């Protein structure tokens, strides 16, 4: 078959390139927004990385970041005796303000009071007294490095290590448990109890036993906290994300429609010639739809490739923006771009219907 659609598009190379760039930009915009959304949704995964399976908290707690809880420290001892419990770690957690040069930063500080009998894989969670572990984002925003000092609640703490992570919503810091108790002023209390389930024990069974042992508390798995966190973040972001994704699709669709329509209108006489020499409606529609698809597919492919590159750049250049570009999202946006391309050819197809082949006799 003569590649008429391709030839029509290539006859105006500059416009063709701009159309592809337009669609690519729209797809890029959509994918960046979606990947930011996915990134924020994943922020709550932080809870699942801590050394425990079940969190015991005061009733009405959503997750440690969004609400606090107070429990008697002695409850930790009671829980260690529950069947199926391997370890119980009191967790101190609250938002605190840091004095950084020139500005103040808010940080979510945690301290894990790890019993001497428990060994954690990472030292991040239990810094020595007088030191603090901060995430990379906080270090960047506070302009501090390892060995520098930070004033936390009036007390200087030396940065002992910097762990990866952090984002523009919240930064995390780990304190020594004894320091946390002193700084937070809660000697006989803790905020949460993080329980590890013994190998072979079922989380559900242990959770039920925890309720029995400590009536008046509630339990959440780390996964539930992560989900609860994601739900709260999403509730705030979803509307914005929806609007931006919608704008992206409208822009992309408009670019494809405009390109195809212009290419059709400009070649109206030629479509009239094809009609006059016997081209069926289907033959002509196929040309127009192919034009749309070429612009849509090339634009979407370029957009996806740009999004992959952009999310990598963002990850390294602007780490506070967490981006997670899932292949399924990229494939979905690509597919929607193709559907948009088909839909965008509706108006040019209608235009072709109205072309009168008798016009071609006019000199």
Partner 1 sequence: MNPPLLEVERVSKEFGSGPTLVRAVADVSFTTDPGEVTLIIGPSGSGKTTLLSMVGGILRPTSGRVVVNGIDITSLKRRELPRVRRELVGFVFQTFNLLESLSALENVEIALNIAGVTGQVARERARALLCEAGLEQRLHFSAQALSAGERQRVALARALANEPRLLLADEPTANLDSEAGRDVMALLRGLTESRGHAAVVVSHDPRLREVADRVLRLADGRLASTESDGRTALLEAVASSPMAREGADSLRRVARAVRRSRLRW
Per CB under 8 A, the list member of 201, 208, 273, 324 interacting with partner 1 is 273
Shortest distance, CB of residue 297 to partner 1, whole angstroms? 20
- Rounded to whole angstroms, the Cα distance separating 234 from 240 reads 10
Binding residues for partner 1 restricted to 192-211, rule: CB under 8 A: none
DSSP string, 84-116: TEEEEEEEEEEEEEEEETTEEEEEEEEEE---T
Q: Which is nearer to partner 1, 235 or 363 (CB)?
A: 363
Look up tokens 């609250």; give the residue. Answer: 94
Question: Where does residue 255 rank: exposed (0-12), middle (13-18), buried (19+ CB within 10 A)?
Answer: buried
Among 117, 212, 279, 331, binds partner 1 (CB under 8 A): 279
Q: Which of 95, 103, 269, 312 binds partner 1 (CB under 8 A)?
A: 269
Report CA Rg, the chain.
30
Q: Binding residues for partner 1, how many (CB under 8 A)?
A: 25
Instruction: Sketch the per residue contact string, 282 through 301, with partner 1: x for CB under 8 A, - otherwise.
Output: -x------------------
Structure tokens at 194: 């993080």
Interface residue with partner 1, options 218, 223, 231, 270 (CB under 8 A): 270
Site string for partner 1, 54-83 (x = CB under 8 A): ------------------------------
Residue closer to partner 1 by CB (options 291, 306) is 291
**Candidate segments 39-47, 76-84, 243-251, 269-277, binder of partner 1 by CB under 8 A:** 269-277
Using CB under 8 A as the binding rule, whether residue 17 contacts partner 1 is answered as no
Comparison of 309 and 358: residue with beta carbon closer to partner 1:
358
Please choose, from the candidates 119, 113, 161, the residue with its C-alpha nearest in 3D space to the C-alpha of residue 139.
161
Task: Find the binder of partner 1 among 276, 302, 308, 338 (CB under 8 A).
Answer: 276
CB of 239 to partner 1, least distance (A): 45
Contact between 14 and partner 1 (CB under 8 A)? no
What tokens were used for 250?
Answer: 């409208």
271, HSE (Cβ side, Cα atoms, 13 Å)? 27
What angle, 0 to 180 degrees and rounded to 10, lies between the N-to-C axes of helices 346-354 and 327-344?
Answer: 20
Q: Are 187 and 179 in contact (CB under 8 A)?
A: no
Given the rule CB under 8 A, which of 218-226, 229-237, 252-260, 271-279 is the region that contacts partner 1? 271-279
CA distance 353 to 271: 10
Angle between helices 327-344 and 281-317 (to 10 degrees): 150
285 vs 321 by CB, closer to partner 1: 285
Q: Closest Cα partner for 49 from 175, 165, 156?
A: 165
For the bound state, the minimum distance from the C-beta of residue 282 to partner 1, rounded and expressed in Å, comes to 10
Sign of CA dihedral 356, 361, 362, 363: positive
- With beta carbons less than 8 A apart as the criterion, state whether 50 and 222 touch: yes
Binding site for partner 1 (CB under 8 A): 1-2, 4, 7-8, 10-11, 267, 269-270, 273-281, 283, 357-358, 360-361, 363
């Amino acid at each position: 078959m003569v590649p008429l659609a391709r030839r029509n598009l290539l006859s105006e190379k500059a416009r063709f390139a701009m159309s592809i760039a337009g669609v690519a930009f729209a797809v890029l915009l959509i994918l960046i927004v979606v990947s930011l959304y996915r990134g924020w949704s994943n922020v709550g995964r932080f809870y699942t990385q801590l050394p425990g399976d079940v969190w015991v908290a005061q009733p009405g707690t959503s997750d440690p970041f969004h609400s606090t809880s107070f429990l008697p420290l002695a409850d930790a001892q009671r829980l260690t005796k529950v069947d199926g419990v391997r370890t119980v770690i009191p967790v101190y957690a609250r938002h605190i303000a840091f004095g950084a040069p020139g500005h103040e930063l808010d940080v979510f500080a945690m301290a894990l009071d790890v019993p001497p009998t428990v060994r954690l894989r990472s030292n991040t969670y239990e810094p020595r007294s007088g030191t603090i572990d901060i995430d990379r984002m906080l270090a960047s925003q506070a302009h501090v490095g390892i060995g520098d000092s930070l004033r936390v609640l009036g007390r200087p703490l030396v940065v002992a290590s910097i762990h990866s992570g952090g984002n523009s919503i919240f930064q995390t810091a780990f304190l020594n448990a004894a320091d946390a108790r002193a700084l937070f002023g809660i000697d006989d209390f803790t905020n949460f109890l993080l329980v590890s389930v013994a190998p072979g024990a079922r989380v559900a069974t242990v959770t039920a036993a925890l309720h029995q042992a400590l009536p008046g508390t509630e339990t959440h798995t780390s996964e539930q906290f992560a989900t609860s966190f994601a739900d709260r973040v999403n509730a705030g972001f979803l509307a914005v994300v929806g609007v931006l994704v919608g704008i992206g699709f409208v822009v992309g669709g408009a670019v494809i429609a405009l390109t195809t329509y212009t290419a059709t209108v400009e070649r109206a006489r030629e479509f009239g010639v094809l009609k006059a020499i016997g081209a069926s409606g289907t033959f002509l529609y196929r040309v127009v739809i192919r034009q749309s698809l070429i612009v849509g597919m090339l634009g979407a492919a370029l957009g996806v490739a740009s999004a992959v590159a952009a999310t990598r750049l963002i990850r390294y250049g602007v780490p506070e923006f967490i981006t997670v570009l899932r292949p399924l999202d990229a494939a979905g946006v690509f597919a929607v771009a193709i559907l948009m391309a088909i839909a965008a050819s509706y108006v040019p197809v209608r235009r072709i219907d109205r072309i009168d082949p008798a016009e071609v006799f006019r000199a």
